[in-house]
Amino acid sequence: NATSRSLVILDEIGRGTSTYDGLSIAWAVIEYLYNFVGAKVLFATHYHELTELEKYLPALKNYHMAVSDDGGELTFLYKVQPGSANKSYGIEVAKIAGLPSEVIRRANEILRRLESKESKMFSPKQLVLFSD
């Protein structure tokens, strides 16, 4: 029941399902709210692909949580800054949480492979359906 006078706060929409299902749901929700509702929206997500929507939806603005990365030592600054995050820190957080070094090493290997494949498969411009 949101209207153009609403503030809609959404946290991790689509994270309870497969990656592409979740990303698709989150993407469609953003487009719907932007194009048909016009509400002010705070949308928290780890789907970095969604940051590309800023290029196609002019009033959409990306913000991220600030992190200081001093030679691999992370400090979470708990500050919101304009722009999209330039890096994901999930594996570093797993290391801080105490996961075994073998798991961290293997996770980095898998991440490199996934990122190289995904960059070939994904074109955000092709997926923007509801823009002007």
The 10s digit of each residue's pLDDT in 87-132 is 899 999 999 999 999 999 999 999 998 888 765 655 555 555 555 4
- At residue 24, the pLDDT reads 96
- At residue 122, the pLDDT reads 53
- At residue 77, the pLDDT reads 97
Q: Is the pLDDT of residue 52 over 90?
A: yes
DSSP string for 41-102: EEEE-S-GGGGGGGGTSTT---EEEEEEEETTEEEEEEEEEES--S---HHHHHHHTT--HH
- At residue 121, the pLDDT reads 55
- At residue 127, the pLDDT reads 53
The pTM of the full predicted model, rounded to 2 decimals, is 0.78
Domains of the chain: 7-127 (3.40.50.300)
9-49 pLDDT, tens digit per residue, is 999 999 999 999 999 999 999 999 999 999 999 999 999 99
Q: Which two tokens stand for residue 93?
A: 């957080």
- At residue 128, the pLDDT reads 54
